[in-house]
Amino acid sequence: MKSGLAATAAAFAVLSLTTATVGAEAKATLKDWPKIVSPVANDPAMEKRIAEIVAGMTLEQKVGQMTQAEIRSVTPGQVRKYYIGSILNGGGAWPEMNRHASVADWARLSAQFYEASMETDMKTPVPVIWGTDAVHGHNNVFGAVLYPHNIGLGAARDPQLVGDIARQTAAAARATGITWVFAPTLAVVQNPRWGRTYESYSSDPALVREYARYYVRGLQGDLKGGTAAVATAKHFIGDGGTYNGKDQGENRYSRLDMINVHGQGYYGALEAGVQTVMASYNSWNDVAAGANHGKMHGANDMLTGVLKGKLGFDGLVVSDWNAIEQVPGCERAHCPQAINAGVDLFMVPDDWHEFIMATINDVKTGVVPMSRIDDAVTRILRVKMRSGLFENPPASSPLNGRSDGLNNDSARALARRAVSESLVLLKNNRALPLDSDRKILVVGKAAVGFASQLGGWSMTWQGTENAPEDFPNAEDFLTAARKAVGAVGKVDYSPDASNVDVRGYDAVVAVVGESPYAEMKGDVSFPASLQHTDRYPEALALLKAVSGKGVPVTTVLYSGRPVYANDLINLSDAFVAAWLPGTEASGITDVLIRQKAGSKSSTSSDFRGTLPFDWPLAACPQSGKKADYLPRGFGLTYAKPSAVHTLPVKPAPKGCVAPAE
Ligand code: BGC
Ligand code: BGC
């Protein structure tokens, strides 16, 4: 028997030869940024109209248009008074800070903001546009269907599915009177330490590009219709490639890597006509070329030179939340560098008033040229006009105020299918599928409630501080399992497997997961390891309590990243990476539990997901070291069963050593 990592890789490798479906790689290597032709053509009549409106605007009105304020910090009256061009609701912001606000409440607030924007003293009133982080369904809104986070969709390798989810997400947004969505995230993540890994579809640039195309087409539709929403390609550029996976950190890849890896998603989004791009918090230091481009919000060469120039983007660039303060020399509400670099619309959530004052002054003193202001406003009006906002108020959507726009049978069925497709089977030594007429013991805290199942960007920003009542339409694993066995089988539950006799059951399903997290708080920073049980020792205790008793154990892991889990895999007869599946856990039981003949429940299907990222085979995997990972593309199925043998588990190191700075 071989020892160490080589044996681990070998245990899987035999299988990957026979069962893996490897995603298509980007074969051609680009030498320069490609010119992308948008399907949304420049319309001379529209451009003329925009030019006339801009020509009739005062400086105050123009700068107001360039400002995006947050609903917790701005009123409709202020939108009217200051000509504010855009509003957003941040993660965990709801109308009147009521987390259970209804669809009608959202639509009513939207109408108030819209009407205020149309009642200004501008020569031509310009409608306000509302943006939201609907990143896995309309996730801030009570009662919404939440789809798997992007990492799970990446596992599914199904672009059509992604397009359908985008279409449903647009409909949900329109039900609440919101016409702009801050998605898709097109990060091509290289290091799972990053806390936003789950917002990334894959480390495969070709897959990210294809998904970007389908997502933007699905969300934007014909752009003008009452069920369409404006999309945002984010975060430009290189967020998935920061050194050591540090959030908002420094990307040190070469120009060719930027073009061929991190840029690919933008090509897909632009090919589909995406109308907005969000700048990224990260910086880019092309060490190999000795070219430090600095923070992207201040990088004229990237925002203006590459994005608006070479790539041909004619929509608007929005800044990220308070991101301008990170540009050297800038403050939270004052950053002429970012305006001059090419940011058009400024997400200054709370300090919008200071931003307006400071920017007006910058124009008056010549720090920012009027031509740049006019260009920014032109782009903002272009997006508003193309998306039909001038003619059709948000309230004119046939879905406006309708709760069935947010949650309906077809959206739930779509989410459920997405969950099924996203599951990756890493081990199955004849434990799965489970028959529905058996006695099943479900263990693990993650089987009940929603925190681990939904992850971050769910009702709240970090996905924390939520209660089960916040997701009235959602189904957790235990509920789904009970439905799946119906009256023919039996499901018992114990959170920690104490006081139960495992031997009294035909099978055990252990559901373990991470506590939810999002940007800023989700990084696994050195010296922490990527071993799941280092952070969640209770998962190991749980599996030790149920395994080795002659009853097959299936582990379902909820996680926002690939993790090192050899210890848990060894204690399991079957192991399923379920990512962050969202509100429809029945998508898991559809695949795990086989319906006995005569039952009228849905038919069970096979696994089809494959790893969207390399999966760590070491607690401290080294970036780029092949032996430390099970490669992207791996995934078992029922159709081609094969056993996984005991994996080597090295004693957990005291800590991982960070690569030199
Ligand atoms: C995130 C963006 C998000 C924005 C608004 C930022 O902190 O990086 O992805 O769209 O906040 O919530
Ligand atoms: C907001 C988020 C935002 C984050 C960034 C939070 O308070 O609700 O939407 O992305 O701050 O710092």
Distance of CA 135 to the CA centre of its chain: 5
List, in sequence order, every beta strand (DSSP E) within 603-650: 615-616, 629-630
Query: What Cα–Cα distance (Å) separates residue 587 from each residue in 217, 437, 576?
Result: 25, 19, 13
Under 8 Å between Cβ of 249 and 289: no
For residue 486, give the nearest of 570, 364, 622, 586 by alpha carbon.
Answer: 586
Burial degree of 526 (CB within 10 A; 0-12, 13-18, 19+): middle
* Torsion on CA atoms 362, 333, 313, 249, rounded to nearest 10: 130
Q: Is the CB of 133 under 6 A from ligand 1?
A: yes
Q: Is the CB of 321 under 6 A from ligand 2?
A: yes
List, in sequence order, every beta strand (DSSP E) within 73-121: 86-89
> Which ligand gives the minimal distance to the CA of 296?
1
Q: What is the pLDDT of residue 10?
A: 57
The set of residues, in sequence order, having a beta carbon less than 8 Å from that of 499 and lying 6+ positions away, is none
> Which ligand gives the minimal distance to the CA of 199?
1
Q: Is the CB of 92 under 6 A from ligand 2?
A: yes
Residues with catalytic roles = 320, 519
pTM of the predicted model, to two decimals? 0.96
91 C-alpha to center of ligand 2: Å? Answer: 6
Q: Is the CB of 281 under 6 A from ligand 2?
A: no
321 C-alpha to center of ligand 1: Å? Answer: 6
320 C-alpha to center of ligand 1: Å? Answer: 6
Distance of CA 1 to the CA centre of its chain: 41
Q: Is the CB of 320 under 6 A from ligand 1?
A: yes
Alpha carbon nearest to ligand 2 atom 12, residue: 321
Q: What is the pLDDT of residue 598?
A: 54
Q: Is the pLDDT of residue 602 over 60?
A: no
Q: Is the CB of 321 under 6 A from ligand 1?
A: yes
631 C-alpha to center of ligand 2: Å? Answer: 34
CA dist., res. 661 & res. 319, Å (int): 28
569 C-alpha to center of ligand 2: Å? Answer: 36
Q: Is the pLDDT of residue 26 over 50?
A: no
Q: Is the CB of 349 under 6 A from ligand 1?
A: no
Per-residue pLDDT, averaged over 397-402, amounts to 98
Among 56-65, 301-310, 337-346, 618-627, the minimum mean pLDDT is found in 618-627
The set of residues, in sequence order, having a beta carbon less than 8 Å from that of 27 and lying 6+ positions away, is none
User: What is the band of 650 on the pLDDT scale with cuts at 50, 70, 90?
Assistant: confident
Query: What Cα–Cα distance (Å) separates residue 550 from each residue in 485, 508, 541?
Result: 22, 10, 18
Task: For a ligand 2 pocket test, name from 278, 320, 321 the mutation site with the most ligand atoms within 8 angstroms of its C-beta.
Answer: 321
The ligand 1 atom at the shortest distance from the C-alpha of residue 90 is 12
Q: What is the pLDDT of residue 412?
A: 98
Alpha carbon nearest to ligand 1 atom 4, residue: 321
Under 8 Å between Cβ of 212 and 266: yes
Q: β-strand 346-347 against 553-558: which pairing, if any?
A: unpaired
Q: What is the pLDDT of residue 623?
A: 85
Alpha carbon nearest to ligand 1 atom 7, residue: 321
CA dist., res. 556 & res. 307, Å (int): 41
Residue in the structure block whose two tokens are 């791009």: 277
> Which ligand gives the minimal distance to the CA of 90?
2
> Which ligand gives the minimal distance to the CA of 247?
1
Q: Is the CB of 131 under 6 A from ligand 2?
A: no
Q: Is the CB of 456 under 6 A from ligand 2?
A: no
Query: Cα angle vertex 4, ends 522, 538, to 5°?
Result: 40
Higher pLDDT, 355 or 17: 355
Q: Is the CB of 90 under 6 A from ligand 2?
A: yes
CA dist., res. 147 & res. 535, Å (int): 26
Under 8 Å between Cβ of 250 and 529: no
pLDDT, tens only, 295-316: 999 999 999 999 999 999 999 9
The ligand 2 atom at the shortest distance from the C-alpha of residue 93 is 8
pLDDT, tens only, 40-93: 999 999 999 999 999 999 999 999 999 999 999 999 999 999 999 999 999 999
The ligand 1 atom at the shortest distance from the C-alpha of residue 234 is 9
Q: Mean of the per-residue pLDDT values for the chain?
A: 94
For residue 429, give the nearest of 601, 645, 153 by alpha carbon.
Answer: 645
